[in-house]
Amino acid sequence: STMRDGDFMEDPLFILESGEVYRNPTEVKMSQIVLPCHANHCGELSVGQLLKWMDSTACLSAERHAGSPCITASVDDIHFEHTIGVGQVVNIKAKVNRAFTSSMEVGISVSCEDLFSDSQWNVCNAFATFVARRTEAGKVQLKQVDPRTQTEQMEYSIAAERRRMRLIHAEIITDLLSSSTAQLGRSQDNAVSGERTRVESVELVLPPHANHQVSTFGGQIMAWMENVATISACRLCNAHPTLRSIDMFHFRGPSHIGDRLVLKAIVNNAFKHSMEVGVCAEAYQGAGELRHINSAFMIFEVLNKDGKPRTLPRIRPEPVDGYRRYQEAIARKKIRLDRKYIISCKHAEVPLSVPWDISNQMYLSYSNVSALKIMAARGNWMLSTEKNKVSLYTLEEDQMLCFKVETTVNVPAEQVFQLLSDLRRRHEWDRHYQQCDVIIQADEDDTIYRVATPCFSRGGKGQDFILLASRRKPCDPRDPYLIALRSVTLPTHPATEEYTRGEVVVCAVEPASLVVSLCKISYYNQATPGVLPYISNDIAGLSSSFYGTFQSCSKYLEENRDSLAALPPSEL
């Protein structure tokens, strides 16, 4: 796939049986022309105003699905690709990708339109989480989303993986800081004191700031936060900064009319061409205690006349808290770079094997599983051959060959998942797996293996692979089990003379329940030079080795269906 994570692929028109063109029932569109009152002194749309419009559109989409009032719980990281000028039109589209118990993920895409040149371009994509408010009857149980098009199926599938990332994001920062060897750089003579960039501002929440549920409008809070963050950034660079990205808004509690909102911002760290501003919102009533409402980290650049980022002054952190924020900013920058490298780039531009370490584990695992889900959602698979209840499908796209093998076994999906999860047993049914050892047990769901394959040509060398195996149990009964594999590199396991180091982009098994004891197994692979020799004959219909392997797999599963399944990785 050449789609970047978060991009909204445009499906061809989906025609319903009635002959009408399908439109997602939760989709909401907003178009706004940018007036001078929406812009900053540079004539660019204020990001705070854009966040208000995005939040409104996404909330209306969430409420259309829930049928009840909804509140913003969080907004994932946003990267702004372009600024928007006065006189241009902002087009915002939001739709619910997936509903969980009482929360749902809403996908938001923002594009800009120049009415005079008839051109459009993407500005940003975002994923927001909304929660349906309790009714008098109690907690809301949201109805499921019914994905119809290829894009909707893909977004529905990956939404569960994004939710998993949100839940463990804070742990990743903590782990990275505890294992970090990054030291503070030497203080520079021209470094700016962090305290000089501190901003504190108060806002009284008035009726115009409230939403239709009479609590403070989430978009308004985000706009106020962006305002103080911009002032803080200005104090470091003495110039107008451009907001490039925001690390997740996370609403920790509600706010109401009459609340005083205290907004605080400070530059945590300045890198060569960017700075991170930490910003938080706290609320209080009268003489009451402060309540933490929201926090975020905003990344700014300062552009010169040619639109290139300027070099920024360094920050001199204050003792204790300043040092902590300085270090955390380094950790977050590393995570942003990992995420951009692993997820955001086009697949064709990413090396097949990405270096693995504990700090990028979450993103490698996410990339591993989402690449499989994107491939599985493709609608243009072609049946190549069929033999002995094993079907082989191919998909040629962007000079890339993918293939899928499907078969059905009389074994429950959970048992299939347990038996196939432990790659150390794969040699029992797959002659291509000569040896398999666990190198790192990253967590309960992610394991790194070294797999050695025999040599199939006279005088040649066998291949070995360093594989990250990511397992996923279903998020709800409509989801399949997943075992996704991809190559990673480890400094502790370089290539050796004995073996040719092979690479795997996407290789996965997807056991899905058909009925209680019947399971359909789908095996996916994106053919790379290392894998192609094993499958090209099968695809051309010249060989049946693949069918033999899958029949052997079926036999192995059925023979072990009543045994204790392979131990889950957490018990290895």
**pLDDT at residue number 511:** 84
Q: What does the buried/exposed string (b/e) look like for 450-474 if buried means 16 or more CB atoms within 10 Å of the residue's CB?
A: bbbbeeeeeeeeebbbbbbbbbbeb
Strand-pair category, 119-132 with 103-114:
antiparallel
Beta carbons of 522 and 405 less than 8 angstroms apart: yes
Task: Look over the chain and give the mean of its residue pLDDT values, rounded to a whole number.
Answer: 84
pLDDT tens digits, 514-536: 766 789 999 988 765 555 555 55
pLDDT tens digits, 382-398: 888 888 788 888 887 66
**pLDDT at residue number 518:** 85
The alpha carbon dihedral of 347, 350, 354, 355 has a sign of negative
CA 559 to chain centre: 38
**pLDDT at residue number 6:** 39
pLDDT tens digits, 175-231: 766 765 444 444 556 789 999 999 999 999 999 999 887 789 999 999 999 999 999
User: Which of 530, 523, 539, 565 lies closest to 452 in space, CA to CA?
Assistant: 530
Residue 351 has pLDDT above 70, yes or no: no
pLDDT grade, residue 143 (50/70/90)? very high
CATH 3.40.50.620 fits 361-571, yes or no: no
Q: Which CA distances in Å does 555 have to 318, 552, 567?
A: 66, 5, 20
What are the domain boundaries of the chain? 1-145, 192-346, 361-571
Protein fold of 1-145 = Thiol Ester Dehydrase; Chain A (3.10.129)
Any residues with CB less than 8 A from the CB of 118 and at least 6 apart, and which?
none
Structure tokens at 177: 């800081």
User: Which of 498, 439, 502 lies closest to 469 in space, CA to CA?
Assistant: 439
Quick check: do 1-145 and 192-346 share a fold? yes
Q: What does the buried/exposed string (b/e) look like for 306-345 if buried means 16 or more CB atoms within 10 Å of the residue's CB?
A: eeeeeebebbbbeeeebeebbbbbbbbbbbbebbebbbbe
Q: What does the buried/exposed string (b/e) look like for 201-230 if buried means 16 or more CB atoms within 10 Å of the residue's CB?
A: eebebeeebbbeeebbbbbbbbbbbbbbbb
- The predicted model scores a pTM of 0.82
Q: What average pLDDT score do residues 503-512 get?
A: 78
Comparison of pLDDT for 234 and 170, the residue scoring more: 234
Considering only the top CATH level, what class is 192-346?
alpha beta
The letter for the amino acid at 366 is: Y
Comparison of pLDDT for 534 and 73, the residue scoring more: 73
Residue 2 has pLDDT above 50, yes or no: no
User: Which of 405, 388, 359 lies closest to 507 in space, CA to CA?
Assistant: 405
Comparison of pLDDT for 16 and 45, the residue scoring more: 45
pLDDT grade, residue 1 (50/70/90)? very low
pLDDT grade, residue 566 (50/70/90)? very low
The letter for the amino acid at 362 is: M
pLDDT grade, residue 9 (50/70/90)? very low
pLDDT grade, residue 570 (50/70/90)? very low
The rounded distance, in Å, linking the Cα atoms of 300 and 229 is: 9
**pLDDT at residue number 482:** 92
User: Quick check: helix, strand or coil at residue 430?
Assistant: coil
Any residues with CB less than 8 A from the CB of 142 and at least 6 apart, and which?
65, 66, 99, 100, 101, 102, 103, 104, 132
